[in-house]
Chains A and B, each alone.
Chain A
Amino acid sequence: MPIQLIGFLLVAPALAVVLLLFIVPLVSSVTGAFDVGGSYGLGNFTKALELYSGDILFTLVIVLLSSGLIGLFSIMIGGYLTLGTNARAVAILRWIYRWPLFIPFIVVGQILRTFLAKNGLMNNIFIELGLMTPAAAMSFLDWRGIVVAFVWKQTPFVTLLLAGAMASIDQSTIEAARNLGAGRVRILIEVVLPQVRQTLLVGLILSFVTMMSVLSVPLMINAQSPTMITANMAFRINAHGDYGVANALGLISLLMTSVAAMVYLRQTMREHSR
Chain B
Amino acid sequence: MKAKLIAATLVTGMFCTPLAAAELTVLTAGDQNMVDYVNEYLGPLFEKENPGTKVRVVGTGPGDAGSQKILERFEAQSKAGVAKWDADVAVVHEKFVGPMVEQEFLEAYRSKIPSGSLVTRENAKMALGTNVDGYVMPMFNSQTALAYNPALVPNPPKSYDEIVEFAKKNPKQFGYNGIKGGASGVSFVMGWIYAYGGDAQKLMNGPFDESETKKWDKAFASLKEFSRNATLTPGNAGTLDMLSRGEIAIGPVWVDMFYSWKANGQLPPEMKLVLPTPGMPGQPMHYVIPAKTANADLAQKFVALATSPKVQAEGIVKRFNWYPGIDAQHVQANLDKETWQKLFTDISPEELAKNGKPFPIAPYNKAILEAYERQVSN
Interface assignment of A239: CB less than 8 Å from any CB of chain B: yes
B71 contacts across to A, CB distance below 8 A: 241
Interface assignment of B68: CB less than 8 Å from any CB of chain A: yes
| Residue from A53, A119, A224, A235 in contact with B245 in the complex, judged by beta carbons closer than 8 Å | A119
A132 to chain B, nearest CB (A): 15
Kindly report which residue of chain A lies nearest to residue B245, judged by CB atoms: A119
Q: Could you give, for residues 327-347 of chain B, a 1 whenever the CB lies within 8 Å of some chain A CB and a 0 otherwise? A: 000000000000000000000
Interface assignment of B278: CB less than 8 Å from any CB of chain A: no
B374 & A51 in contact (Cβ 8 Å cutoff): yes
Interface assignment of A258: CB less than 8 Å from any CB of chain B: no
Known: A50-B374, A220-B234, A238-B65. A118 touches B180 (CB 8 A): no
Interface assignment of B36: CB less than 8 Å from any CB of chain A: no
Q: Could you give, for residues 240-251 of chain B, a 1 whenever the CB lies within 8 Å of some chain A CB and a 0 otherwise? A: 011001110000
B80 to chain A, nearest CB (A): 17
Interface assignment of A223: CB less than 8 Å from any CB of chain B: yes
Q: Could you give, for residues 227-246 of chain A, a 1 whenever the CB lies within 8 Å of some chain B CB and a 0 otherwise? A: 10001101101111100000
A147 to chain B, nearest CB (A): 16
Residue from the set A139, A224, A241 with the largest chain B CB neighbour count within 10 Å: A224
| Residue from A117, A120, A221, A231 in contact with B180 in the complex, judged by beta carbons closer than 8 Å | A231
B56 to chain A, nearest CB (A): 25
Interface assignment of A25: CB less than 8 Å from any CB of chain B: no
**Measured between alpha carbons, how far is A231 from B235 in the docked complex, in Å?**
13
Within 8 A of B (CB), among A51-70: 51-55
Interface assignment of B366: CB less than 8 Å from any CB of chain A: yes
Within 8 A of B (CB), among A225-269: 225-227, 231-232, 234-235, 237-241
A51 & B178 in contact (Cβ 8 Å cutoff): no
A223 & B178 in contact (Cβ 8 Å cutoff): yes
Interface assignment of A222: CB less than 8 Å from any CB of chain B: yes
A238 & B378 in contact (Cβ 8 Å cutoff): no
Known: A51-B370, A113-B234. A224 touches B378 (CB 8 A): no
A257 to chain B, nearest CB (A): 23
**Measured between alpha carbons, how far is A55 from B370 in the docked complex, in Å?**
15
Interface assignment of B63: CB less than 8 Å from any CB of chain A: yes
A89 to chain B, nearest CB (A): 37
Within 8 A of B (CB), among A183-240: 220-227, 231-232, 234-235, 237-240
A240 contacts across to B, CB distance below 8 A: 366, 369
A52 & B234 in contact (Cβ 8 Å cutoff): no
Interface assignment of B275: CB less than 8 Å from any CB of chain A: no
B242 & A224 in contact (Cβ 8 Å cutoff): no
**Measured between alpha carbons, how far is A235 from B180 in the docked complex, in Å?**
6
A246 to chain B, nearest CB (A): 12
A239 & B64 in contact (Cβ 8 Å cutoff): yes
Interface assignment of A141: CB less than 8 Å from any CB of chain B: yes
Interface assignment of B177: CB less than 8 Å from any CB of chain A: yes
| Residue from A55, A120, A223, A238 in contact with B177 in the complex, judged by beta carbons closer than 8 Å | A223
A99 to chain B, nearest CB (A): 25
A119 & B246 in contact (Cβ 8 Å cutoff): yes
A118 & B378 in contact (Cβ 8 Å cutoff): no
B366 contacts across to A, CB distance below 8 A: 240
The 3 closest A-B pairs by CB, nearest first: A225-B377, A238-B65, A224-B232
Binding site for A on B (CB under 8 A): 63-65, 68, 71-72, 177-181, 231-235, 241-242, 245-247, 366, 369-370, 373-374, 376-378
> What would 13 more interface pairs be, CB under 8 Å, given A223-B178, A225-B178?
A53-B378, A117-B247, A118-B242, A118-B245, A223-B177, A223-B180, A224-B234, A225-B180, A225-B373, A238-B64, A238-B65, A239-B65, A240-B366
Binding site for B on A (CB under 8 A): 50-55, 113, 117-120, 139, 141, 220-227, 231-232, 234-235, 237-241
20 contacts between A and B (CB under 8 A): A53-B378, A55-B378, A113-B234, A117-B245, A117-B247, A118-B242, A118-B247, A222-B234, A224-B181, A224-B377, A225-B178, A225-B232, A235-B180, A237-B65, A238-B64, A239-B180, A239-B369, A240-B369, A241-B68, A241-B71
